[in-house]
Amino acid sequence: MLIAVTSKTGTEVDQHFGHAERFLIYDYNQGNPQLVKEVSVEKYCAYVPDQPFRHGRFQGIAEAIDGCRLVVTAMIGGYPKDELKKLGIQAVVAPGPIPQALVQAVEAQCKQASDS
């Protein structure tokens, strides 16, 4: 399963979805995450209170993380989270070291799937 991660440091999930200028793409295979690639994006958020949904920027992010089933981030707004869900991508807020955050995100996805 491919998972997109927002990270400034490259070691921690430490960035808001809207502030990310890159996503680290991991292949999560039976608890063994491997970094596959890094993709650059135009950040979604422009620091404008009550900003409207930014379709063009969101579309660019969606294309960059195409194939991912999860986005693991330190924070995400409700509207982008809902839009990701429409694309079949679950957003999980799990700040901390990337390996532990990925385990936490996959467990959350599995729990949500079993609750459905």
Asked if residue 12 has pLDDT above 80, the reply is: yes
pLDDT at 32: 84
Burial of 110 (0-12, 13-18, 19+ CB in 10 A): exposed
| Distance of alpha carbon 86 from alpha carbon 37, whole angstroms | 24
Total-model pTM: 0.89
Instruction: State both tokens at 2.
Output: 């491919």
Asked if residue 82 has pLDDT above 70, the reply is: yes
Per residue in 92-103, pLDDT (tens digit) is 999 999 999 999
pLDDT at 47: 61
Domain ranges within the chain, ordered by starting residue: 2-115
Supply angle C-alpha 27, 32, 33, rounded to 5. Answer: 35
Which whole number is the average pLDDT over 21-42?
Answer: 93
Looking at per-residue confidence, does 48 or 76 come out higher? 76
pLDDT at 66: 96
| CATH ID of 2-115, from 1.10.1740.10, 3.30.420.130, 2.60.120.10, 3.40.50.300 | 3.30.420.130
Asked if residue 109 has pLDDT above 70, the reply is: yes
